Amino acid sequence: MKVVSSHSSVVGRFALLALVFLTFASGGFAQANRPSIAEQANLVTELDVSGLKVLVKRRLNAPTVAAGLFIRGGSRNINDKNAGIENLMLSVATEGSTKFPRETVRRELARTGGSIGSAVSNDYSAISFASTRRNFDRSWEIFTDLALNPAFAAEDIARARAQISTGLREQETNSDNYLQVLQDRVIYANHPYANEVNGTLESIARFSAKDLSDYHKKLMVTSRLLLVVVGDIDPKDVEKRVAATFGKLPRGDYKESVYPALDFSKATLDVTSRTLPTNYVQGVFNAPSLNSPDYYAMRVAVTVLQSRIYQEVRTKRQLSYAPNAELGSFSSNVGNIYVTAVDANQAVKVMLDEVKNLKTQQINEETIDGISGHFLTLHFIGQETNAAQAGELAKYELIGGGWRNAFAFLDKIREVKPAEVQEAAQKYMKNIRFIVIGNPTAINREIFLQN
């Protein structure tokens, strides 16, 4: 869940653009064959087990089952002193438990074809597993024991610490990843997102087994947790299993705090000097959160901007191989425009001109119809696995206003009006804050700060 780079891979961008062209023409047919919101929601059973919310989505005849135990809080759970402790704790927890040491876990996963892992993000974290339906009983037994009774063995801590530290050291070796690191430092200053959920080399090095055990105990209260299960499994069976495991945890009194607003009061430019064959540029703007009514119009606006930037910067002028525009889906949300270019000034000027066009010229209804078809195709591709569907339900439940909104997204997109797209661009695509890696003397500040 931790996003290393705010923009997709080059291959992903080209696949995305190909889907745009394909689905602009086929959206109507796909829409007609899509289940209604009510039909999709009826597949989900919501349970409360000792204060733990459980979502079970039944997919008849699915050969696999996926589940995730999601932990609320994300960057709000930590500070600059214990940054990364949740990441390390979860990584070590998946290594082995009191009942299932690491060798047993690896042997059983290999035998059954299952997988267990963990992830962290600014908004929440998770420990998850996937297995075949046939081996669900054994996988569930291992998963719950790892989550509830991690051993925090010295060798497991050392292994996880080394893996995380290697990843942290490599952050600055890749310019795209480093651009994201620099963006976070600028945009999230004085905000909870500034707390490094992945940790730092210094913090990861100092956590002891007791630190991890104490932190684990603090997190394991049902008011802080969400369990999502997707597969061909009876919700009543899940309820019994949860009551015998996670349902025995104390309820606790966790309540989430509201994030402060990000600072987009003025345009800024931060340039980091590096000798590179090209300049890496990311311009970040404010954006509505996933649970905001503005999100859908903004989603359309950014999709239109993405297509126009590609056409103007790459196809027409060949200024960059992979220019892009993206919208995040976080509680404190942002969008961005991205480009790598030798002539960064010209590329950025063209992109800002397209931002201006969105603010001053309304798109037509046909464009929105095409975009809804585009998102429908992406939705079906992205939701092919049970794990992806579990993640989508959790994301909407935790930060998107409730899990039912996961099924309303496509209808909300279709309801967007051209005037709303223009209003969203005017409201959010301003005071863009640019982060650049490259040659400072080649950057014209007037161009970058004109928005």
Query: Per-residue pLDDT tens for 175-224?
Result: 999 999 999 999 999 999 999 999 999 999 999 999 999 999 999 999 99
- Whether residue 85 contacts residue 120, with contact meaning beta carbons closer than 8 Å, is answered with no
Residue 24 has pLDDT above 70, yes or no: no
One-letter identity of residue 407: F
Is the same domain home to 308 and 439? yes
- Whether residue 55 contacts residue 383, with contact meaning beta carbons closer than 8 Å, is answered with no
Is the same domain home to 136 and 273? no
Residue 313's pLDDT band (cuts 50, 70, 90): very high
**pLDDT, mean of residues 417-422:** 96
**Entry pTM:** 0.90
Is the same domain home to 185 and 323? no
**pLDDT, mean of residues 305-315:** 95
Is the same domain home to 143 and 287? no
Is the same domain home to 164 and 15? no
Q: What is the pLDDT of residue 3?
A: 36
**pLDDT, mean of residues 290-299:** 95
Q: What is the pLDDT of residues 349-374, one digit of tens each?
A: 999 999 999 999 999 988 888 887 77
Rounded distance between C-alpha atoms, residue 73 and residue 79, angstroms: 12
Of the candidates 174, 260, 255, 161, the one whose C-alpha atom is nearest the C-alpha of residue 202 is: 161
Q: What is the pLDDT of residues 3-22, one digit of tens each?
A: 333 333 433 333 333 333 33
Q: What is the pLDDT of residue 26?
A: 38
Which structural domain range is residue 344 located in? 10-33+261-448
Is the same domain home to 372 and 280? yes
Residue 77 has pLDDT above 70, yes or no: yes
Rounded distance between C-alpha atoms, residue 334 and residue 6, angstroms: 10
- State residue 428 phi and psi, 5-degree precision: -110, -30
Is the same domain home to 214 and 317? no
Is the same domain home to 240 and 285? no
Of the candidates 191, 144, 368, the one whose C-alpha atom is nearest the C-alpha of residue 286 is: 191
Of all residues in the chain, the percent with pLDDT exceeding 90 is 82
Single residue among 216, 248, 280 that ends a domain in this structure: 248
**pLDDT, mean of residues 92-112:** 96
Q: What is the pLDDT of residue 18?
A: 33
Residue 2 lies in a domain: no
Residue 78 in tokens: 């930590």
Residue 369 lies in a domain: yes
One-letter identity of residue 391: G
Residue 66's pLDDT band (cuts 50, 70, 90): very high
Is the same domain home to 237 and 266? no
Q: What is the pLDDT of residue 46?
A: 98
113: CATH: 3.30.830.10
10 Å CB burial of residue 42 (0-12, 13-18, 19+) is exposed
Q: What is the pLDDT of residue 34?
A: 65
Is the same domain home to 408 and 427? yes
Residue 174 in tokens: 């890749």
Q: What is the pLDDT of residue 33?
A: 60
Residue 255 lies in a domain: no
The counts of H helices and E strands in the chain are 17, 11
Q: What is the pLDDT of residues 36-50, one digit of tens each?
A: 888 888 999 999 999
Q: What is the pLDDT of residue 374?
A: 78
Rounded distance between C-alpha atoms, residue 54 and residue 48, angstroms: 6
Q: Higher confidence at residue 20 or residue 255?
A: 255
Is the same domain home to 241 and 339? no
Residue 254 lies in a domain: no
Residue 225 lies in a domain: yes
Residue 448 in tokens: 């970058």
Lowest mean pLDDT among 3-7, 86-90, 294-298: 3-7
Q: What is the pLDDT of residues 112-134, one digit of tens each?
A: 999 999 999 999 999 999 999 99
Q: What is the pLDDT of residue 17?
A: 36
Is the same domain home to 212 and 336? no
The total number of structural domains that make up the chain:
2
